[in-house]
Structure 1
Amino acid sequence: MQDDLTSSCDNPKEFWRKIGKIGIGAERQRNIPMEINLEDGSVSTDPISVLNKWKNDFSSMLNVENCIQPSENVDSKDQDKCDYLLDCEITSEEIFNVIKKAKNGKAPGLDELPVEVLKNQTALSFLVRLFNVCYNTGKVPVLWAKGVIVPVPKCSSSDPRDPLSYRGITLAPATYKLYCGVLDCRLREKFDASDIIHDEQNGFRKDRNTIDHLLSITSIIESRKLRKQSTYAAFIDFKKGIRYYK
């Protein structure tokens, strides 16, 4: 089985299909029961109560209101400067570079348009106009603010009647993801060129990996052990840190 899985490493779809066959994937495919735990400890099977519980739990978790104050360190003179990389019109080349990296066969969002239908010249011309309207006005289609949340169990031992024991995977419109991809490429290029991000930041950076830090800390520990010195490290796992910040 190990050799069979190793041979499929270059084909993610085939790899996970084989994983599902040996039961690991089946744990994540269990049906969600039409019942939930109430605040008083009782269990409800009323469809309306179940749906409201799911709605309220995910809404309170995802719709966190943060009061973001403008930085006091921002120089008003800098705000008037023109940055060509960030201020220029979005080009068809930028969009094409993002589209060609988009994988086929992915679930679509509410618009039910898979990314495959956007991989042509007609769609590309439309996206250029759409993205530039969004970029210049700061406004996006209302549909982009909506997504289909697919709940996936975090682990097999979690309570299936607790909505927060599921990880919500949001299916967003392909056009929205492509637009975000264009902005992401611009910001990465800007940050790398300006040396804004600290060199110690390896996560979410091109040609870098958090494994690089593991190599560094391993080398430090081994070096200190040779000198009979103790090493202390603190690792912080922020709860739901991806969903919101303060």
Structure 2
Amino acid sequence: MKGTGGAMNWKGKGETPVGRERDFRMLEGMKGEDLRMEYLGKRNDYKRKIKEAKLKEMEEELERMGDRVWDVCKRWVKGEKRKVKGNLRRPDGTYTGSLEETYEELVGQYFPQDIAAGEGHVEMRREYGEDRVDEGEDFAVTMNELRGVINGMSVGKAPGMDGIPNECMRHVLNGVGDSWRVIVEGCLREGVYPRVWKRAEVVWIPKKGGMRPISLLPSVGKVFGRLVAARISYSMEARGQFDRAQYGFRRGRDCTEAIGDLVNVIRNNSGWAAFACCRLGPQERFRVGMGSCCGQKSEDERSE
């Protein structure tokens, strides 16, 4: 049935399959245009609110500065570093009143006291006992052992109080390597960690909302510490004192292997209705005498 006056059929242009598909695409295009316009409007409103918030924050900052506004701008232009605030809160609820008190409080919180009176042979050996030191252990230090430790140190690090970067330690070894070896060997035999090798230079790094302290140790002391750590690791590996699930503090075992083992355990036991408990802490397994551990080294390090 057709209408009068050339009017379209009530079904419109979509009375055929082709017409219905054309009308559907036109309708979808109109909806898409409406959504796009709605999105643009909301995006413009969002940008406007961000700009208003920035202007409001700047006005509040200028009000807080008061008469110091030009002084602050001058320091910003010159790139002067931010000063540490002198009102640090102590654990007892009080506040520091000066920069000196703030520095002392920060050092006391992040760095323990190093008392020279407690670093004698008796104090340093009282935990494992003099009778547990085996005099037959191999305390001798070889040049290959020192060279291996130095080659494993990272380069590009800031030096400590000695001013010697890690990359220069190889040249030091070539120049005074034998004298250095004798000193390190003597420290191992006597069970002494020289105080000067533990003295760090504290540097405060400005961070957002505060300061973060870092300690720069002497490179010579870092070499000795790595040598002791390598001997302890080798001694425990040789004696089988590392747990099978121990990944840290071990050569050849890293985070990737630990994650792989964990994934395998989950896959193999996915159907079990059980819980897994994780225990942190070395407990008794790391209670090994310092003398017996530091007196051992790998077979590759025994040769010159």
Q: TM-score, normalised by structure 2?
A: 0.51
Partner of 1:100: 151
Query: Quick one: structure 1 residues 235 and 33, their matched pair in 2 at CA, closer, same or farther if it must change by over 3 Å?
Result: farther
Aligned-residue offset at 1:186: 2.1
Partner of 2:275: 231
Aligned-residue offset at 1:202: 1.0
CA distance in 1, matches of 2:276, 2:235: 36
Q: What CA RMSD, in Å, does the superposition of the two structures yield over aligned residues?
A: 3.6
One-letter code aligned to 1:231:
F
Aligned-residue offset at 1:42: 6.5
Partner of 1:11: none
Aligned-residue offset at 1:94: 0.9
- Larger fraction in helix: 2
Over residues 46-92 of structure 1, what are the superposed CA-to-partner deviations in whole Å (9 max), with x where a residue is unaligned?
A: 22221222122224xx3499x99756xx9x6x6446223xx3x1111
CA distance in 2, matches of 1:81, 1:93: 23
Aligned-residue offset at 1:201: 0.8
Partner of 1:48: 100
Over residues 140-185 of structure 1, what are the superposed CA-to-partner deviations in whole Å (9 max), with x where a residue is unaligned?
A: 43311210233458x85xx52xx7xx4x432111111111222222
Partner of 2:89: 38
Residue-pair matches, total = 191
One-letter code aligned to 2:218:
P
Over residues 182-239 of structure 1, what are the superposed CA-to-partner deviations in whole Å (9 max), with x where a residue is unaligned?
A: 22222222222221222221112111023433333333333333x36243444759xx
Partner of 2:181: 128
Aligned-residue offset at 1:45: 5.7
One-letter code aligned to 2:182:
R
| Structure with larger Rg | 2
CA distance in 2, matches of 1:79, 1:235: 31
Q: TM-score, normalised by structure 1?
A: 0.62
**1:34 and 1:45 in contact (8 A); partners too:** no
1:172 to 217, 220, 232: 217
Structure 1 unaligned residues grouped into runs of 5+: 1-29, 238-246
Query: Quick one: structure 1 residues 126 and 115, their matched pair in 2 at CA, closer, same or farther if it must change by over 3 Å?
Result: farther
Q: Alignment identity in percent?
A: 17
